[in-house]
Homo-oligomer: A and B are copies of this chain.
Amino acid sequence: MSLDEDLEDARTAVPVPGVVHPGVRRARVWLSRAVEPGTVDVHRYVEDVGPVEAVRRVRAGTAPERIRGLVGARARQDATLADLTRAERCGARFVVPEDPEWPAYPLHALTVAVADEPLAHRDQSDRTRALVPPIGLWVRGAGRLDLLVDRSVAVVGSRASTAYGEHVAAELGHQLGERGWTVVSGGAFGIDAAAHRGALAAEAPTIAVLACGVDRVYPAANSALLARIAETGMLVSEWPPGCAPLRHRFLVRNRLIAALTRGTVVVEAAARSGAQATANRARDLGRALMVVPGPVTSALSVGCHELLRDSAGGAVLVASAAHVIEAVGGIGTDLAPPPERPTSPRDELPELAARVLDACPVRIGVSAERLASTAGCTVLDVLRVLPSLELADLVQWTGTGWRLAPPPKPHGAAP
């Protein structure tokens, strides 16, 4: 069936509840190739007249001029069947907003955000910043997209990462995976790859949101990693199969990583880097923005520290998966435990008792008067606290005076 016939059929068919008409899906497939994601005007037009009508009018030349201008020469082309076939061949499919699987709740933030964009048509000066919902999502993997992203966290960072950053990203990915969180990242070198690998090592699903077709292996050196993600997790892209990872597409893609997840963790980022851009998208969408610090001597942590220094940015420092879960998890249910410190009996002492203990000599016993003078308190005070210090085996009476008790023998040591 030709595209135009399919569209006509979708227009006139009686809707079947719970079933997406093939023409609707095909219209969105067509749009996903004809216009670059993140274009405000096209999104609004599709929302306005529906995908089927939008495609019909663009192809018939009856759509508003600014929409036709954005599609340009591609209005006459049709690669929908080829795209669907190519997707099927690599185990991928095209999920549309009309599907029950559509992650409507997380992506709602984009719908809210695009409503704030100016209505008047003008050249969209920077499409990489507009928060526009996707036309549809090409996904490659066995799971259900909406379930996979329900409890998910993005872990992003520099491609030129350090061993420190990769270690932290892998550790975070692993621990988040173990605790039932889906790790979402960009499938790139460095921090992205380390986070994915950590999740895979925990046998947890992980999602790579790509800036190219889900059948493309980019970067090529990550091909084995991307194949494993497709097997146990999911590859996701707004671009149809075969599309190349053009530079600006990474920036457009970043808003999806931010929107699909409950929060974004930046592990390593150079000054004014792409990871910072993703971080800002997360904040713009009302998501938790979490940042892992690093040595101040590392150029790869400069961007992280800038995010943390920006008091208006609301970034939270995280040093562990527990911190991350505290920030994105349920209120009160996922609190991180406070850091522990070795304690000794003297840590529990009231200040006066600690002072008297400090005043006790190691070897030769001294009088209570001498202790009072050294500790800066009255003899009565000293006599009041000495019994409890003795009971706690902290001081001992030598027969002529008070001194510190010898430290206890290590447990299990020979007598």
Contact = CB atoms under 8 A, between A and B. Distances in A.
A70 B168 contact: no
Interface string A375-413: 111111000000000000000000000000000000000
28 contacts: A35-B376, A36-B375, A39-B376, A70-B376, A72-B377, A72-B379, A124-B351, A125-B350, A128-B351, A244-B374, A246-B358, A247-B354, A248-B358, A270-B341, A272-B339, A273-B341, A292-B296, A293-B301, A293-B308, A293-B317, A294-B294, A294-B295, A294-B296, A305-B319, A306-B339, A308-B308, A309-B323, A317-B317
**Best-surrounded residue of A72, A273, A355 (most CB of chain B within 10 A):** A72
Nearest to A293: B293
A114 interface: no
A22 interface: no
User: Which 4 pairs, one residue from A and one from B, show the smallest C-beta to C-beta distance?
Assistant: A36-B376, A293-B293, A271-B339, A296-B319
Given A70-B378, A317-B309, A164 B297 contact: yes
A70 B271 CA distance: 57
A62 interface: no
Interface residues of A, number: 66
A323 to B, nearest CB: 7
Contacts of A248: 351, 354-355, 358
Interface string A163-195: 010011000000000000000000000000000
A372 interface: yes
Interface in A319-335: 319-320, 323
Interface string A259-273: 000000000001111
B72 A372 contact: yes
A19 interface: no
A5 to B, nearest CB: 25
